Amino acid sequence: MEAVVGLLIMLLGVSLGAETFCDGRRDGVQCFGALGGTVVLQLMDNASEIPRYDWRKNGTRILNGRKKYFLINTMETRSVFIPSNGTFLINNLIRTDGGQYTLRLQDSDGRQTGKQTLQLFIQAPVSSVLLVSECLSEGQMKVSCSSEGGDSPQYSWTLDGNTLTDSELLSGTTETNIIILKQNLSGRLVCSVRNHISRVSNETILTTCDGKTFCDGRRDGVQCFGALGGTVVLQLMDNTSEIHRYLWNKDGTIILYGRKNTIIINTMKTRSVFIPSNGTFLINNLIRTDGGQYTLKLQDSDGRQTAERTLQLFIQAPVSSVLLVSECLSEGQMCMCRSSEGGDSPQYSWTLDGNTLTDSELLSGTNETNIIILKQNLSGRLVCSVRNHISCVSNELMISVCRDVL
């Protein structure tokens, strides 16, 4: 009975730092643990089937046992061995826990029946990620992603959820921390930094270097987004000098009519510019009613239609600021995130100490609701991000463990 009590106390003492699991039952496995966190190493199956076992780190004995009775555990102040499932748990990991561990199994006559090694690597978790963008002379954008903490960081980039491709990159790759993007890209750019024990990301909404949103409407059915009061650049076609006639309607009403390089009608002239040489249509001072379905028809010299495509333009008010409050309830800590002004179709996401919230931390709500209740005993840097298609704003709060709530 005493052994059981001891075990419970040790388990309660486990820090709330990151916990990693590693199945070390094959020879040559690589395991990773978070500095300050906990690693659970599965060394064998039920130890009560094994007459003798001996586990050493770089030659120094750590654990020695017979069946379910382990005789020696030299790391006992920071570790627990559970014979019934052969797991060895180490708390408060330090750098020098890294190294090569060798397990030897013996039969009751002392003959070796098995030997396996595992390599344990201790890494500091990535704690935060900073994204900085800078416009270069030709309108290309240099974006650098830097991380704090984090041993051996590995970078990756996505734009609107897709890995960046060479056609979007002028320099760098999807795995470097500094990239140069080609002109006129838009969307949600995310940089993720990970190592074996953590993953943190940060994001930004790309606009062109002069703050406009760009949309390539040269395919049929594209969705474009513009900021209320801002400017959108719609690429409708390539150079018009080869196009005999083009007609662009919004919800059935004519906006633009032209022949090759000559613009015959532009009913939005006061707020827009059409550039025939590259087929872009720029609308300033966007208003709600600019949203809608636009249809482009191209004709040949005989007036026959050669192409037709539509694009849907959505006008959104940007998220301007985010308010984050928390309150201790008897069951846990309630946190509420609200975009304080404007912000159409806000989407929410949360991180705690850089990691996306998981169900094991949430009593109610999800990583995408604006109100959540965190389980008790959680603390750290809580960040709520609010985004829509044209903006992204976040706010953070240091939360501490709630005490004495009735």
Instruction: Give the nearer residue to ligand NAG in terms of CB position, either 186 or 235.
Output: 235
Q: Which is nearer to ligand NAG, 281 or 348 (CB)?
A: 281
Q: Which is nearer to ligand NAG, 235 or 388 (CB)?
A: 235
CB of 154 to ligand NAG, least distance (A): 27
How far is residue 109 CA from its own chain's centroid? 54
Structure tokens at 49: 């089937």
CB 204 within 8 A of CB 187: no
Tokens found for residue 377: 């005993």
Q: Are 250 and 294 in contact (CB under 8 A)?
A: yes
CB 339, CB 301: distance < 8 Å: no
> Cα(25)–Cα(349) distance, rounded to whole angstroms?
38
Cα gap 193→150, rounded to integer Å: 9
Question: Which residues face 128 on adjacent strands?
Answer: 148
Report the residue number, 275 or 329, with the smaller CB distance to ligand NAG.
Answer: 275
Q: Is 231 exposed, middle or buried (0-12, 13-18, 19+ CB in 10 A)?
A: buried
Shortest spacing between CB 232 and ligand NAG, in angstroms: 12
Which 3 state secondary structure label does DSSP give 146? strand
Q: H/E element holding 211?
A: none
Unique residue bearing structure tokens 């703050």: 211
Between CA 45 and CA 35 the distance in angstroms is 27
Question: Could you list the residues that contact ligand NAG (CB under 6 A)?
Answer: 42, 82, 85, 87, 184, 235, 275, 278, 280
Instruction: Say how far apart CA 32 and CA 197 lie, in whole Å.
Output: 7
Backbone angles phi, psi at 277, to 5 degrees: -65, -25
Contacts of 1 (CB under 8 A, 6+ apart): none
Residue 40 or residue 93: which is nearer to ligand NAG going by CB?
40
Q: Where are the beta strands (DSSP E) in 276-370?
A: 280-283, 292-299, 305-316, 322-328, 333-339, 347-352, 355-356, 362-364
Contact predicate 71/120, CB 8 Å? no
Helix (H, G, I), strand (E, B) or coil at 40: strand
Radius of gyration of the chain (CA): 30
User: Minimum Å distance from CB 281 to ligand NAG?
Assistant: 10
